[in-house]
């Protein structure tokens, strides 16, 4: 059974790679999911590392020394971490994990990057009003593809990683609440589309005219904008979309085709990653971290599967494994795992990824893990080794030993 623990980079402050690998082993982990860079400067609490107990994640800087010769075709050049300049750490951690029989999965964020996206607005998602997104790159943009493909080649060429994990595949998806008012469901839908030149070009190949989609999207958005904000705000949580969105897609086939185009091109992107693996390291599994099918994801953008172009079914041919990231209680874990496994139809391995921090109680860890397995998850994944407590790690370790 796969048991994953994750790390937001080299955040085990003061621990040697060997000590970290040994403690991962004690906690029952046989896989480490290692974030090779972060897309957002989340502030995290690290109770087990009092010397750095409150720490803001470094954004868009690599935790391994990039081989710049591999980024010649990329207008975006990678930068190495400033907080963790030790270029040997990454290799040493892989070696230490392998010595403990722990597999090493290298996670690469794909579309999100909130230091780089504002620095390169020409490569970012462009919404129906021509505004550039400040977090999401467009995966149809050749520069974005070159940057991430170079990074993936870099990892595959120089490090004996056992898995490649893609994170943040989406172009963009509007959250339910903006800083100032609610995005109602139709506005959230059309406001999430990218109309950049690269998408326009790609859409032509899919027999879709993005100028036509944009014109109709603007009309639909205008309907939402006409309603006073206080009226929309008063509807609050009821505006989740299940009442309006299916009808919108039936009434507006152009929007349905636009959503399909987003999915099709995202799957093509992942297929291209798969080709790189086939050429460089055939056989290593390709996995992706997805939000759960029914609940919004737990991160700052509260993503939902259908807007983030994440589908447990549509990626079956291009992904070996999907991490269903469901950071809530045991019932939600059970529900979402069942949904994800059903959608994947046995063609892709689904592993539920749960929360080993914050509201999770030590006595809840076995319950979460059992509900994931009962829902059909092939193993369990917990985030994360570097932000959790000794109590939670011990609880996981006990459950794993009792299960094996």
Residues forming the site for Zn ion (CB under 5 A): 138, 140, 194, 196, 199
In whole angstroms, how close is the CB of 202 to Zn ion at the nearest point? 8
Comparison of 190 and 196: residue with beta carbon closer to Zn ion? 196
Residue 21 Cβ vs Zn ion, minimum distance, rounded to whole Å: 41
Least distance in Å: CB of 261 to Zn ion?
10
**Shortest spacing between CB 152 and Zn ion, in angstroms:** 20
- 90, 97 Cβ separation under 8 angstroms: no
Q: How many CB atoms are closer than 10 A to CB 41? A: 13
Q: Strands (DSSP E) along 38-188, which ranges?
A: 43-45, 54-56, 103-109, 124-126, 132-137, 163-167
Q: Is the peptide bond before 63 cis (omega within 30 degrees of 0)?
A: no
Q: Of 64 and 261, which CB lies nearer to Zn ion in the complex structure?
A: 261
Number of H helices, E strands in the chain: 13, 12
Minimal distance in Å, beta carbon 138 to Zn ion? 3
Strand partners, 21: none
| Residue among 303 and 384 whose Cβ is closer to Zn ion | 303
The secondary structure of 82-112, three-state, reads CCCCCCCHHHHHHHHHHHCCCEEEEEEECCE
User: Are the beta carbons of 384 and 8 closer than 8 angstroms?
Assistant: yes
Distance in Å, CB of 171 to Zn ion, minimum? 6
Q: Find residue 164's DSSP bridge partners.
A: 106, 286
Give the nearer residue to Zn ion in terms of CB position, either 140 or 150. 140
Complex with Zn ion: residue 13 or 132, whichever CB lies closer:
132
| Half-sphere exposure at residue 253, Cβ-oriented, CA atoms within 13 angstroms | 1
Which two tokens mark 66?
Answer: 């990039």
| CB 196 to Zn ion: min, Å | 3
Indicate the residue among 81 and 140 with the shorter CB distance to Zn ion: 140
Q: What's the distance, Cα to Cα, between the start and end of the chain in Å?
A: 8
Place of tokens 């999100």: 112
Q: Which is nearer to Zn ion, 138 or 166 (CB)?
A: 138
């Amino acid at each position: 059974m796969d048991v994953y623990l994750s790390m937001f980079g080299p955040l085990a402050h003061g621990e040697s790679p060997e000590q970290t690998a040994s403690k991962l082993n004690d906690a029952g982990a046989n896989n480490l999911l290692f974030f090779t860079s972060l897309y957002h400067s989340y502030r995290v609490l690290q109770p087990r590392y009092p010397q750095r107990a409150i720490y803001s994640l470094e954004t868009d800087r690599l935790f391994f020394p990039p081989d710049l010769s591999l980024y010649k075709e990329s207008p975006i050049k990678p930068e190495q971490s400033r907080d963790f300049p030790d270029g040997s750490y990454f290799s040493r951690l892989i070696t230490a994990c392998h010595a403990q029989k722990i597999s090493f999965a290298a996670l690469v964020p794909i579309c999100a990057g909130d230091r780089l996206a504002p620095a390169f607005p020409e490569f970012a998602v462009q919404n129906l009003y021509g505004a550039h997104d400040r977090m999401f790159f467009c995966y149809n943009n050749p520069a974005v593809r070159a940057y991430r493909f170079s990074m993936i080649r870099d990892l595959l060429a120089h490090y004996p990683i056992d898995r490649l994990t893609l994170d943040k595949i989406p172009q963009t998806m509007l959250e339910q609440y903006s800083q100032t008012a609610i995005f109602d469901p139709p506005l959230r839908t059309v406001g999430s589309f990218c109309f950049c030149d690269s998408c326009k070009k790609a859409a032509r190949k899919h027999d879709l005219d993005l100028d036509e989609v944009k014109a109709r999207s603007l009309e639909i958005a205008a309907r939402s904008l006409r309603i006073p904000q206080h009226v929309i705000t008063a509807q609050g949580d009821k505006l989740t979309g299940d009442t309006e969105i299916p009808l919108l897609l039936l009434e507006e086939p152009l929007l349905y085709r636009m959503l399909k185009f987003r999915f099709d091109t995202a799957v093509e992107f992942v297929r291209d990653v798969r080709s790189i693996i086939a050429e460089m390291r055939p056989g290593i599994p390709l996995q992706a971290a997805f939000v759960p099918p029914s609940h919004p994801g737990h991160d700052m953008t509260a993503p939902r599967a259908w807007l983030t172009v994440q589908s447990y079914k549509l990626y079956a041919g291009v992904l070996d494994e999907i991490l269903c990231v469901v950071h809530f209680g045991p019932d939600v874990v059970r529900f979402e795992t069942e949904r994800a496994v059903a959608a994947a139809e046995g063609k892709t391995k689904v592993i539920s990824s749960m929360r080993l921090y914050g509201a999770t109680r030590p006595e809840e860890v076995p319950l979460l893990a059992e509900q994931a397995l009962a829902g059909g998850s092939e193993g369990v994944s917990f985030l994360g080794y570097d932000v959790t407590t000794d109590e939670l790690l011990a609880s996981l370790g006990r459950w794993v030993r009792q299960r094996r």
